[in-house]
């Protein structure tokens, strides 16, 4: 029996590339996205009967029920690619409450909606969960605070989930891509900094905008990595993809360890009593 995959954010970027690859293996794909025209394109590409398209806003109140019904109709689910999300860059202070709420609703709460809708079927098949994070799910740059926080939330939710699901046979992997040439940059929201943040947020955004095309990796590398991990009997919990992801995550981890060591004496000192 062919495997069944559910892929969110299937109409562009990594989601689109993985959808195409999964279809090429003979899998039945439930492709979830908000763009009807892009979903129609996938139908044209797919062999007859091997794709189910679902036009859905994952933040909608009925999203979980719609997903549950779709998975039930498919009869099984073997692989979840929980990939939908968008970027938001700007100083922490200047991102207002509505923008902050929106990024967490899409990148975190909708991610949880998808998990709740699919995990019963994935437990039944001892399937795979792949959660799309980012290299800045492990640390933050100037301007990335809210976006990095949303991806950091996905990272810790996924780590807990991996522990919780271990006895069931379901495997969880967090994909941490670096900088790749997808539609991400075209779709992200940027809040331009005021004078107070020009030396930090402004400089970072300007430097990033000046990166040459060769600084952006081929997104096919991420799609290939996802396909490989999905097939592994014992996949990693985290997989950084791209040289910049490996380099920056390693540097962040080393910095945190060095700081932990530097302040260990204070950390372990008895609490000072106050009079």
Least confident of 25-34, 141-150, 204-213: 204-213
Predicted local distance difference test score (pLDDT) of residue 275? 54
Is residue 270 very low, low, confident or very high in pLDDT (cuts 50, 70, 90)? confident
pLDDT digits (tens, 9 = 90+) for 112-132: 999 999 999 999 999 999 999
Would residue 275 count as lying in a domain? no
Checking if the pLDDT of 147 tops 60, the result is yes
For residues 14-38, give the mean pLDDT.
96
* Domain count for the chain: 1
Query: What CATH number corresponds to the domain at position 15?
Result: 3.40.50.720
Would you please indicate which residues are annotated as catalytic (active-site) residues? Answer: 133, 147, 151
Contact 82/5 with Cβ under 8 angstroms? no
Would residue 129 count as lying in a domain? yes
Beta strands per DSSP E along the chain: 4-8, 28-33, 51-55, 79-82, 88-89, 128-132, 171-177, 189-190, 238-241
Would residue 263 count as lying in a domain? yes
Q: What is the mean pLDDT of the chain?
A: 95
- What residues make up the domain containing 191? 4-268
For residues 40-63, give the mean pLDDT.
93
């Amino acid at each position: 029996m062919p495997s069944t995959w559910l892929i969110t954010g299937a109409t562009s970027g990594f989601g689109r590339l993985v959808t195409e690859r999964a279809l090429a293996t003979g899998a039945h794909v439930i492709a979830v996205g908000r763009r009807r025209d892009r979903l129609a394109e996938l139908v044209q590409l797919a062999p007859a009967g091997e794709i189910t398209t679902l036009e859905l806003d994952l933040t909608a109140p009925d999203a979980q029920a719609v997903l549950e019904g779709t998975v039930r109709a498919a009869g099984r689910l073997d692989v979840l690619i929980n990939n939908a999300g968008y970027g938001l860059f700007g100083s922490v202070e200047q991102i207002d409450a509505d923008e902050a709420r929106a990024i967490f609703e899409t990148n975190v709460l909708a991610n949880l909606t998808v998990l709740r809708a699919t995990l019963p079927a994935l437990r039944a098949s001892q399937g795979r969960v792949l959660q799309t994070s980012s290299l800045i799910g492990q640390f933050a740059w100037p301007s990335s605070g809210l976006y990095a926080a949303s991806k950091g939330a996905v990272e810790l939710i996924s780590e807990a989930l991996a522990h919780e699901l271990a006895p069931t046979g379901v495997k969880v992997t967090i994909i941490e891509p670096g900088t790749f040439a997808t539609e991400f940059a075209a779709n992200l929201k940027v809040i331009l900094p005021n004078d107070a943040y020009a030396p930090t947020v402004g400089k970072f955004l300007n430097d990033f905008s000046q990166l040459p095309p060769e600084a952006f990796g081929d997104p096919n590398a991420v799609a290939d990595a996802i396909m490989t991990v999905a097939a592994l009997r014992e996949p990693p919990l985290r997989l950084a993809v791209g040289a910049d992801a490996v380099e920056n995550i390693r540097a962040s981890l080393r910095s945190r360890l060095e700081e932990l060591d530097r302040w260990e004496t204070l950390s372990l000192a008895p609490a000072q009593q106050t009079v």
